[in-house]
């Protein structure tokens, strides 16, 4: 049996898209929403894949790095465009530190608005 669990958090930040021909080239902000998902096939002795509390703590740490910042000024977005896609990849990579032997990060979805999101998933 395969298990998948997720938590959702948010942060607010500003960015501008370099080399973009349109209004998003100008500095603007978003109230971002992030959903992080972990998957695995074996539960621990308490019947959990990974503790939601632990996962939320890891995601909170990442959100605090991004929250109320001008993303273009902080690594890695000082070098790469802070698109929803690149933010999803950044969060996905950061969440690898929360992985256990049984639970691996499998997907991160980032919404920049109520109707627009980007997701990245790992090959597991």
Helical residues (DSSP H) of the chain, grouped into ranges: 52-66, 84-95
d(CA 30, CA 32): 6
Q: Which of 25, 28, 68, 73 is catalytic?
A: 68
Backbone CA torsion sign across 71, 30, 105, 120:
negative
Q: Which of 30, 58, 107, 112 is catalytic?
A: 112
- Judge whether 112 counts as a catalytic residue: yes
- Judge whether 106 counts as a catalytic residue: no
- Judge whether 24 counts as a catalytic residue: yes
Q: Which of 16, 24, 85, 99 is catalytic?
A: 24
Active site residues: 24, 68, 112
């Amino acid at each position: 049996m395969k298990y998948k669990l997720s938590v959702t958090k948010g942060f607010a930040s500003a960015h501008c898209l370099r080399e973009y021909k349109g209004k998003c080239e100008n500095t603007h902000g978003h109230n971002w929403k992030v959903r992080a998902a972990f998957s695995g096939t074996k539960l621990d002795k308490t019947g959990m894949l990974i503790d939601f509390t632990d996962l939320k703590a890891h995601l909170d740490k990442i959100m605090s790095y991004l929250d109320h910042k001008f993303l273009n000024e902080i690594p890695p977005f000082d070098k790469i465009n802070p698109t929803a896609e690149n933010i999803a990849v950044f969060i996905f990579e950061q969440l690898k530190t929360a992985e256990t032997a049984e639970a691996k990060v499998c997907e991160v979805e980032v919404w920049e608005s109520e109707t627009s999101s980007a997701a990245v998933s790992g090959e597991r």
